[in-house]
């Protein structure tokens, strides 16, 4: 099956949201996606993009013969104070019926190229510890589990905590 990778454009926003929701559904968290097409448009295609997307298209099998978006990778650049720019892979998904065709590998290859071109020293991402297939997919390609090797734990201050910290201290 022939497929093509390309940079996402503003018109891809509905498809990006569809795939974000599909991946969330797979993680049984679909109701947690509160982002809208309008947010994705402003945040990804405004003056300062907060994320970038690569999408994979194939020739649709319906009578219109249109192209169908079947996979995507969402990434942005982060900064390591010891070595500088890093490419951070935020989301990475290929629709179930299109797996095993090399699309995932091709997306990763494309991202690796991009990381090298933009002079990043590495690519980082998180994986759920119980997601064995993904952990193996990445380890086969040389990924190291920094949580295991260096003991890093991911923390979060949610909005309520931020608002509490931002407001003046109570007397």
Binding site for other proteins (CB under 8 A): 20, 23-24, 29, 32-35, 39, 43, 50-51, 74, 76-85, 88, 90-91, 105, 108-109, 112-113, 115-116, 121-130, 138, 141-148, 150-166
**CB 164, min distance to other proteins, A:** 6
Is there a catalytic annotation at residue 3?
Answer: no
> Which of 6, 109 has the CB closer to other proteins?
109
CB of 62 to other proteins, least distance (A): 27
Range 104-115 burial, b when 16+ CB lie within 10 A, else e: bebbbebbeebb
Q: Give the CA distances from residue 168 to residues 25, 162, 165, in Å, rounded to whole numbers and listed in that order.
A: 40, 12, 8
d(Cα 24, Cα 144) in Å, to the nearest integer?
25
Residue 3: strand, helix, or coil: strand
Q: Quote the CA–CA distance of 137 and 96 in Å, as a whole number.
A: 15
Task: Provide, rounded to whole angstroms, the least separation between the CB of residue 138 and other proteins.
Answer: 6
96 or 129: CB nearest other proteins: 129
- For 168, the 3-state DSSP assignment is coil
Distance CA(129)–CA(38), nearest Å, equals 32
Collect all residues with Cβ–Cβ distance below 8 Å to 76 and sequence separation of at least 6: 50, 51, 52, 88, 90
CB of 2 to other proteins, least distance (A): 19
Shorter beta-carbon distance to other proteins: residue 59 or 105: 105
Longest CA–CA span in the chain (Å) reads: 69
Nearest to other proteins of 74, 94 (CB atom):
74
Query: Which active-site residues does the annotation give?
Result: 138
């Amino acid at each position: 099956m022939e497929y093509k990778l390309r940079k996402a454009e503003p018109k891809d926003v509905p498809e990006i949201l569809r795939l974000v929701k599909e991946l969330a559904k797979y993680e049984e968290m679909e109701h947690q996606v509160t982002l809208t097409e309008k947010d994705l448009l402003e945040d990804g295609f405004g003056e300062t993009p907060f994320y970038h997307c690569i999408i994979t298209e194939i020739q649709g099998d319906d009578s219109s013969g249109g192209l169908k978006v079947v996979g995507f990778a969402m990434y942005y650049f982060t900064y390591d104070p010891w070595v500088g720019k890093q490419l951070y892979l935020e989301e990475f998904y290929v629709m179930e019926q299109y797996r095993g065709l090399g699309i995932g590998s091709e997306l990763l290859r494309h991202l690796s190229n991009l990381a090298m071109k933009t002079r990043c020293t590495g690519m980082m991402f998180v994986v759920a510890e119980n997601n064995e297939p993904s952990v193996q997919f990445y380890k086969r390609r040389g990924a190291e589990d920094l949580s295991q090797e260096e003991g890093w734990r991911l923390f979060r201050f949610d909005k309520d905590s931020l608002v509490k910290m931002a407001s003046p201290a109570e007397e």
